[in-house]
Structure 1
Amino acid sequence: MRVAVVTESFLPSANGVTTSVLRVLDHLAGRGHEALVVCPGPAPGAYAGYPVVQVPGFSYRGFRAGVPSPALVRALDDFRPDVLHAASPFGLGAQALYVARRRRVATVAVFQTDVAGFARKHGLAATAPSIWRWLRHVHSYADLTLAPSSASLADLAANGIGRTRWWGRGVDAATYHPRHRTSPAGAALRARLLAGAPAGTVLVGYVGRLAPEKRVERLARLTGVPGARVVVVGDGPSRPALERDLGGGAAFLGRLDGEDLARAYAALDVFVHTGTTETFGQTLQEAMASGLPVVAPAAGGPLDVVAEGETGYLYAPEDDGALERAVRVLVADPAMRARMGEAGRRRVLPRSWDVLGEAIVGHYADAMAVAGASRRARV
């Protein structure tokens, strides 16, 4: 199978869209499929043995976004794909879907970013209807639209986007593992984070991009919880303000990747998510694979990821008091933390990227069948 992957985000940017694209490419390479990547530059020239075509882009609030370009058309025409995979299509992906439809190439669009939700969080609520109108237009060119959660599928349906299916997110449970907590490097990190703290202090952490839509400033409410110390892993445009507002009540580790990130997760005792516009919540899965109880807003993707009272707690999305109360309960009860952490790891073990990779290849085949039937109907 020849797969053209057109993505609004790619390396070196680190986010959920990039991660899922990389894992799909890894799977395609492992199964012997051919692929091409088109993304905004600057980016690596290749990944997993596949060529990466860079198109012009611009940066906005820490995001790198591509713009429609003749280079994309040339790349698709030269590659002649069997199917187009448009990752979180908006601008560049919209052009790709349109060109593919004109070339009668099967198309799969992956809905991963709640752009309308982000607009509301940035004080642009009036633009949300226009954004959804544009997304309806974009996804009208897709033979299938995949979404990672029941909440996302409901949002798509409510806004008139059809031909949808569920496609979740995998987690690398071998990399994200509780064993890092007691490894020499993991133990050293935990000791550094607990330096000067009273015995029994609980590390409550957040991992992710530091940007306004992530609402990380809500962690300030937790800096006063007795027996807790807040840890923030990640980077982004909000970091200077967060370091100022959280002051000495939080430790900032910056952006981490690979084994360093896995050790940071495992060094924590409780994981907290603060954003309310997540279509999935990949960091929640990584925390659960690391053996942590999780606390997240009862909105969007976390509703599917977190088993309330079993693997952690869901709090009313805009209620900072409810967030604090859930964290206080876990800080005070080490046995509950251990029980929920173990249950969380068991819950995510079946969600491997290999299983999700096979699933998306099946969606590609279905899209090709849909496109083939449509072509025959037009003859």
Structure 2
Amino acid sequence: MRIAIFSDTYSPQVNGVARTLTRLVSHLEKRNVEYQLFIPDQLEHTDPFKSNIHSFTSFPFFLYPECRVAWPNMLRLKKELLAFNPTVLHVTTPFNLGLAGVHLSKKYHIPLVGSYHTHFDHYLQYYKLTFLSDLMWSYLRWFYADCKKVLVPSIETKLHLASKKFNHLDIWSRGVDCQQFSPSKKEGYLYDLYNIEQKFVLLYVGRMAPEKDLAAMKRIMRQLPKEICEQVHWIYVGDGPMLSEMKSEFQCDQVTFTGYLNGEALSALYALADLFIFPSQTETFGNVVLEALASGTPAIVADKGGVREIVEHEKTGMICKSGNAESFVQAITKLLYSPSQRLEMGFAARTYALSQSWDSIFDGLLSDYKKLSIGSLDKRSLA
């Protein structure tokens, strides 16, 4: 089989879709599966598999400037696609390159797989653009209409799309690298690096943006009891439109903003933290939550979105009422005052993460690709 993947985001962009695709490409290489990747141009490209990548001029997406939307050269794209002659075409984003993929799959009768990664309807609420919601859903239903499968990362997302009249929905979950993210990655030098003098470290990793419900995070920080607040050092990992606002509101020695981190620097912070705090209500899955669990760090999350399917309440973390700062404050206070429970949760979190193998998840996707590829070849032979 030969897989053509069309995406408007890819490494080195920092988001869940780009990171998942980067891992998928590595798995395709590992399994010796032929593929070609059609993506926006990158300011810096470090991918080791450049010969399989075709990039096109792009510009930042207004709701998510860290992602880029491409202007594909259709003549060049068509030429490269037909030379590759894929047996399956996979579109991962509903923007320009995704549209090009849908068009070419229809024109050349290539079986189409679509994956859905982002609740854009939830984003519209945070950016006061809900008047576009009906139009957006009409467009997305059209975009995914010809897909043999529409892959979603969680049951919550599947039910959400089913309620919007989407068809051919199937689960494509997410895994975690338990060697990269592990309790063993904890490094003592971080206390000096980030001037941590407090007893506890509370960690957030993600985009610094309204749709991550950072407004709730602000309330959580302010409503912590004084005796707890004095013992806590907050660390925020990530960048985005709210970073400067958060920095200006929390200019103190007990809050650190690191910007984007990856590799060992990120792994070490996950392992250092006592708790992972993530109030976002818009996640289709929540990769960062699974990374925290793999690091042995219990996660405190909202009761909306795909994160509910990762965290087991009072076993690997706590599930709190979304948008309710007091609910999060109570969970944080309870666990910080209960070191034995926190330790048990960290062990259970790591145990759960060890069962979430990327290899098995990607091999399941390859099985889907293979079935569609066989059907495609059978049709071509009959023709």
Task: Determine if the TM-score, normalized by the shorter chain, exceeds 0.5.
Answer: yes
Aligned to 1:245: 249
Aligned to 1:220: 218
Q: Distance in 2 between matches of 1:128 and 1:373?
A: 40
Residues 208-228 of structure 1 deviation map (CA, whole Å, 9 limit, x = unaligned): 111221122433234343132
Which of 145, 166, 172 pairs up with 1:167? 172
| Aligned counterparts, 1:136-175, within 5 A | 136-175=141-180
**Matched length:** 371
Q: Distance in 2 between matches of 1:302 and 1:27?
A: 25
Q: Distance in 2 between matches of 1:326 and 1:148?
A: 27
Q: Helix, strand or coil: the match of 1:247?
A: coil
The answer to whether the 8 Å contact 1:90/1:135 transfers is no
Q: Helix, strand or coil: the match of 1:54?
A: strand
Q: Distance in 1 between matches of 2:147 and 2:375?
A: 10
RMSD across aligned positions (CA): 2.0
The answer to whether the 8 Å contact 2:151/2:171 transfers is yes
Q: Helix, strand or coil: the match of 2:12?
A: coil
The answer to whether the 8 Å contact 1:222/1:230 transfers is no
Q: Distance in 2 between matches of 1:261 and 1:195?
A: 16
| Aligned counterparts, 1:268-307, within 5 A | 268-307=273-312
Deviates more, 1:277-286 or 1:310-319: 310-319
Aligned to 1:127: 132
Aligned to 1:341: 346
Q: Helix, strand or coil: the match of 1:12?
A: coil
Residues 143-176 of structure 1 deviation map (CA, whole Å, 9 limit, x = unaligned): 1110000010011111111111101011000110
Q: Distance in 2 between matches of 1:349 and 1:33?
A: 26
Residues 330-368 of structure 1 deviation map (CA, whole Å, 9 limit, x = unaligned): 122111111111101111112111111101101112333
Shift of 1:77: 2.1
Aligned to 1:195: 196
Q: Distance in 2 between matches of 1:337 and 1:160?
A: 42
Q: Distance in 2 between matches of 1:19 and 1:81?
A: 23
Aligned to 2:94: 89
Q: Helix, strand or coil: the match of 2:333?
A: helix
Aligned pair 1:27/2:31, yes or no? no
Aligned to 2:205: 207
The answer to whether the 8 Å contact 2:217/2:325 transfers is no
Deviates more, 1:133-142 or 1:43-52: 43-52
Shift of 1:316: 1.4
Aligned pair 1:15/2:19, yes or no? no
Aligned to 1:364: 369
Aligned to 1:114: 119
The answer to whether the 8 Å contact 1:223/1:250 transfers is no
Q: Distance in 2 between matches of 1:316 and 1:83?
A: 42
Shift of 1:49: 5.4
Aligned to 1:328: 333
Q: Distance in 2 between matches of 1:115 and 1:13?
A: 18
Letter in 2 for 1:36: Q
Unaligned runs of 5+ in 2: none
Q: Distance in 2 between matches of 1:190 and 1:133?
A: 50
Q: Helix, strand or coil: the match of 2:191?
A: helix
Aligned to 2:237: 233
Letter in 2 for 1:260: A
**CA 1:319–1:369: 2 relative to 1, 3 Å:** farther
Unaligned runs of 5+ in 1: none
The answer to whether the 8 Å contact 1:3/1:35 transfers is yes
Q: Distance in 2 between matches of 1:375 and 1:117?
A: 42
Q: Helix, strand or coil: the match of 2:37?
A: strand
**CA 1:27–1:219: 2 relative to 1, 3 Å:** same
Letter in 1 for 2:240: G
The answer to whether the 8 Å contact 1:143/1:371 transfers is no
The answer to whether the 8 Å contact 2:87/2:377 transfers is no
The answer to whether the 8 Å contact 1:89/1:109 transfers is no
Q: Distance in 2 between matches of 1:45 and 1:14?
A: 13
Q: Distance in 2 between matches of 1:315 and 1:188?
A: 32
Shift of 1:52: 1.5
The answer to whether the 8 Å contact 1:7/1:86 transfers is yes
Letter in 2 for 1:4: A
Q: Helix, strand or coil: the match of 1:223?
A: helix
Q: Helix, strand or coil: the match of 2:114?
A: strand
Q: Helix, strand or coil: the match of 2:251?
A: helix
Aligned to 1:6: 6
Aligned to 1:58: 59
Query: Could you tell me the TM-score, scaled by structure 2's length?
Result: 0.91
Residues 186-240 of structure 1 deviation map (CA, whole Å, 9 limit, x = unaligned): 111034446343xxx2111101111221122433234343132211011122211
**CA 1:332–1:72: 2 relative to 1, 3 Å:** farther
Shift of 1:94: 2.2
Aligned to 2:317: 312
